[in-house]
Each structure stands twice: as C-alpha cells, then as structure tokens.
Copies of this chain bind each other. A is one copy, B any other.
Amino acid sequence: MIQRDDILSYIEANKDRFLEELNDLLRIPSVSADPAYKADVQRCAEVVKDRLLESGAAMAEIHSTAGHPIVYAEKIIDPSLPTVLVYGHYDVQPADPVELWDSPPFEPVIKDGKIYARGAADDKGQAYMHVKALEFMTKTNTLPCNVKFMIEGEEEVGSENLGIWVKNNKEKLSADVILISDTSIIANDTPSITVGLRGLSYVEVEVTGPNRDLHSGVYGGAVANPANTLCELIASLKDEDDRITIEGFYDDVEEVSAEDRAEMAKAPFDEEDFKRELKIGATRSENGFSPMEGTSIRPTLDVNGIWSGYIGEGAKTVLPSKAYAKISMRLVPFQSSAKITELFERHLKKIAPDYVQVKVTPHHGGEPIVIPTDFPGYLAASKAMEESFGKTPIPERSGGSIPIVALFEEVLGLKSILLGFSLNSDDIHSPNEHYGVFNYLKGIETIPLFYKHFVEAHQSA
C-alpha cells in the first residue's frame, strides 16, 4: 500500500542520486530539430531504456522510426488490474541563442534550488520523475497496477513518427489512462492540472522577389524588396484589434461562455507583476480578452523566426532575392490544424502582390484538446496533488500544445492526464531553462499517489 510518508522517506534517502541521474540525462544534447545531433538523440534513447530497466521495468525496448527512436517499457503485474500508460519525451529544443545562457546548456548546474539545463523542465526532468516513481513502487513492492512507458524523441518537432507508431501498436499500448508530465502548475503553493491545450499550425514562408540579390542603390525604387514585402504580408495578418485576418480563421473557434470565463478569471494573475517580470510596458491581447484568456481560450499567430538579406556585422546594401519566416498559430477547440494550415496558405497566396512569389511549407501541427474533470483519471490526479501539496489543484487551460494528446484520444480512445510540475517561469524553449528541485521531487512524490487513487477510483467506478 502506497503511503506518502514512505515516499518521502525514500526520496530523502535517494535524492542526491535522483538529481545526479537526471543530470546525466541532461548532459546529452538530444536536439531533435537539428540533424547534427542525431547520434546524441539515439544515445539518449538508449540511456532512457537502461534507466527504465534499472528502475523496475520488466522489459524495455527501442523502436526505430523514420526519425528518432521511441523507448517503450512495461511492467505488467496482473492483466486484470488497470494499466497506466506514461508518455514523455527525451528530445529537447535547440539551445540557440547559446550566448544568452549563463552556463552551458548541456552542462547542468544546480543553483538556488534550480537545475539549469536545456530539457531540465521540458521534458527530461518531468519524464524522469515517472522513472523514479516506478523505482519507488518497485523497490517497496507497492506498484498497485500495470504500467507502460512510451518516451519519444520527436515531441519538439511534431511527433509525426510517434503518431504512425501508435497507430501500428494499438494492442501493445492498451491501457486505461495516459499520464503525462509536460505542463506546469500555477505556483509552488498553487497546484493546478492542465485541462486544455492549444493546437498548433506551424508553417514556413518563403517570399521570392528578383532571381538574385541586387544592389539596393542600383535597383531600389524599381524592384520590390521581398524583405519589405514579407513584413507587409505579416503585418496584414492582424487587424487593429489584434484579430487574425485570415479568411475563415475564427469559424470553428469555441466561444467560451461568460460563466466559464468568470470561473477562469478567478485563477491568480497579477498583470503588474507579469509586466515587471518580463520587463514589458504593456501586454498585448486580442481586443476584448484578458492576457490570461489570450494565452488559453483564444488562438494566436506568432513569428517564431524571420530572416533575409545581410545579417552579419556592419552594413551591406543588398536588395535580397528571398525573405523567410517561420510562423506558428496556436489553435483552440474546435479549430483543425490541417484546415488552418490550408487557410493560411490560401490567404497568403491570395494577398501576395504580383512582384513576389510566395511559398508556404507546413512544418507540423496538432489539434487542440479539452480534458473532462469528472472521470477517474482526473479525480485521481486531483486527490494525489491534494495529498502532496495540501491544496486542491485548480483545473487550468494551458496555452501550449502537445500535439500527440489529441491523437492518443483518437487512435487509442484514451484520455490523458496532464500532471505537470514545472512553472511558466522555467524558461522552457529559452536560454537558461531550469526546473526546481522542489518540483522534481514533488513530482516523484505525487506520481505514486496518483497510482494509488487511480486504482481506487477505477475499481469503484
């Protein structure tokens, strides 16, 4: 029988090793977006597999894909008991701009109670909590149900190959709930559970003007500059109310009721603190919506990267041939990623002036999801956090995307529980990403409690 005191004692006795094992994982630069790191990503998968076996998995294997491998592991103690399927990812975002890190991104350091490294919070630190929770339950003979692990290496680039693999392995993955730690809580004294995720449409835009770079003195004034044109196209994608101008963009957007909006507005948010912390003079949200609503119940369009012409030191008077942008749109229920990508491309081609050519390449996407708060998985997660934090967690919609969650529901028919422990201020995807030691250990403490409550809830359901 899982007891919180036993977990706490186990953590106390092993926490230095828990941190050291995580640091070993963080030292591997498993950047999935950049082919230069392919061997590191492979090596990371092997380390994850080994650690799962050492921590109590009865079997663990590496599945090759057209991209990076998937680590699968399981421990089936009794087929008649419920099964928890843990999902996580061992790949990380690129570390650029590296020069803005205070310490090297792949040399973890613990400072002021935080682990600084690329992937510390997203998602190595959070995925590894599940491995250590398994260790606790195995070593103390308290694992109350079956467990399966599916840890992938392509979450940061769209999980395309995991999607294929899941479709081909439905039986292997049969379970009762999916458990994921890749989201955040509101604060260390304000636990929360993510009950909504935005979808994503990520595209790359290439604007071509003249067939070669030109001298901006000789040709400027006669030949349209594709960098100026790209700016004009991007600027035109939002109106003065900060609404996206793509035709049909809002057609499928869920209109959240006034009651639900009032409920959400109760979550703690101090706009002055928010502005001070980010050193911005003002927030910017769609007209008629609060900043919190802008990041949860409303879609967005953001330039994630833009480049054209001469970007080195000094000055070069070039009228560039091409200009590029990476643009992502966050989507809300009931928008469809594929449809939005198509609307984007159609709109951009329609508004492109005849002095340029526009090419739109879809990168990856994912569907928005909403998770109910009245099924055994959510109830167990809520009870587990209540026990470990001493407070009932707040159900909260997150602005981020985990594209694979919608696919899990569609293909496996399983709901996911987003039991994350990081903080929005952890700088995931940014220089100096970090994860609190408190949060890492709190996760290892909470997860076995989830298993206990889930088995109970499942049996009484």
Q: Within the complex, which residue of B34, B216, B232, B293 is in contact with A328, where a contact is CB–CB below 8 Å?
A: B216
A75–B296 Cα gap in the complex (Å)?
76
Verify B278–A223 contact, CB threshold 8 A.
yes
Task: Select A223's contact among B184, B280, B357, beta carbons within 8 Å.
Answer: B280
Residues of B within 8 A of A104 (CB): none
Contact (Cβ within 8 A) A234 B223: no
Q: Is A79 an interface residue (CB 8 A)?
A: no
Choice from B96, B212, B238, B302 contacting A216 with Cβ under 8 Å: B302
CA A207 – CA B432 in complex, angstroms? 21
Q: How far is the CA of A198 from the CA of B79 in the complex (A)?
A: 81
Complex CA–CA separation, A326 to B311 (angstroms): 8
A211 CB within 8 Å of chain B:
yes
Which residues in B have their C-beta under 8 angstroms from that of A310? 94, 96, 304-305, 326
Name A431's contact: one of B212, B295, B323, B428 (CB within 8 Å). B212
Of the candidates B234, B274, B324, B326, which one forms a contact with A231 in the assembled complex, judged by CB atoms under 8 Å apart? B234
A266-309 vs B, Cβ < 8 Å mask (1 yes, 0 no): 00000000100011111111100101111110111111111111
- A286 proximity list for chain B (CB < 8 A): 221
Q: Is A158 an interface residue (CB 8 A)?
A: yes
A314 and B157 contacting across the interface, CB-CB below 8 Å: yes
A318, chain B: closest CB distance, angstroms: 5
Question: What's the minimum C-beta distance from A363 to chain B, rounded to whole angstroms?
Answer: 4
A461 within 8 A of B: no
- Which A residues are within 8 Å of any B CB, using their own CB? 32-35, 93-94, 96-97, 100, 156-158, 184, 198, 200, 202, 204, 209-225, 227-228, 230-232, 234-236, 238, 274, 278-286, 289, 291-296, 298-320, 323-324, 326, 328, 330, 353-357, 363-364, 398-401, 424, 427-432
Residue from A314, A356, A364 with most neighbouring chain B CB atoms (10 Å): A314
- Judging by beta carbons under 8 Å apart, are B280 and A209 in contact? yes
CA distance in complex: A375, B285 (Å): 63
Closest to A198 in B: B217
Number of copies of chain A assembled together: 2
B-chain residues with CB within 8 Å of residue A326 when the two chains form the complex:
309-311, 315-316
Complex contacts, A302 vs chain B, CB 8 Å: 216, 220, 225, 227-228, 319
Q: Which residues of B contact A274 (CB under 8 A)?
A: 222
> A294 to B292, alpha carbons, bound, how many Å?
48
CB distance from A356 to the nearest CB of B (A): 8
CB contact under 8 A between A314 and B33, given known A228-B302, A231-B303, A430-B215? yes
Contact of A94 with B212 in the complex, beta carbons under 8 Å? no
From B221, B281, B429, A317 is in contact (CB under 8 Å) with: B429
Instruction: Give the most central of A100, A235, A238: most B CB within 10 Å.
Output: A235
What is the CB-to-nearest-CB distance from A15 to chain B, in angstroms, rounded to a whole number?
28
Query: In the complex, what residues of B have CB within 8 A of residue A224's CB?
Result: 280, 282-284
CA distance A227 to B324 in the complex (A): 12
In the complex, 6 of the A-B residue pairs with CB atoms within 8 angstroms, ordered by the A residue number, are A33-B316, A34-B312, A217-B399, A218-B399, A228-B238, A303-B309
Given A219-B399, A315-B202, does the pair A214, B430 have CB atoms closer than 8 Å? Answer: yes
Q: Determine whether the beta carbon of B222 is less than 8 Å from that of A294.
A: yes
Q: Known: A315-B364, A364-B315. Is A429-B213 also a contact (CB below 8 A)?
A: yes
Question: What is the CA–CA distance of A33 and B364 in the complex, to the nearest angstrom?
Answer: 38
Q: Which of B158, B221, B289, B298 contacts A285 (CB 8 A)?
A: B221
With both beta carbons as reference points, the residue of chain B lying nearest to A122 in the complex is identified as B215
Q: How far is the CB of A30 from chain B (nearest CB, A)?
A: 14
In whole angstroms, what is the CA distance A183 to B121 when docked? 58
Select one of B157, B400, B424 contacting A315, CB under 8 A. B157
Complex formed: what's the CA distance from A295 to B219 in Å?
Answer: 6
Residues of B within 8 A of A225 (CB): 302-303
What 5 A-B pairs have minimum CB-CB distances, sorted nearest first?
A221-B294, A33-B314, A217-B400, A222-B291, A235-B235
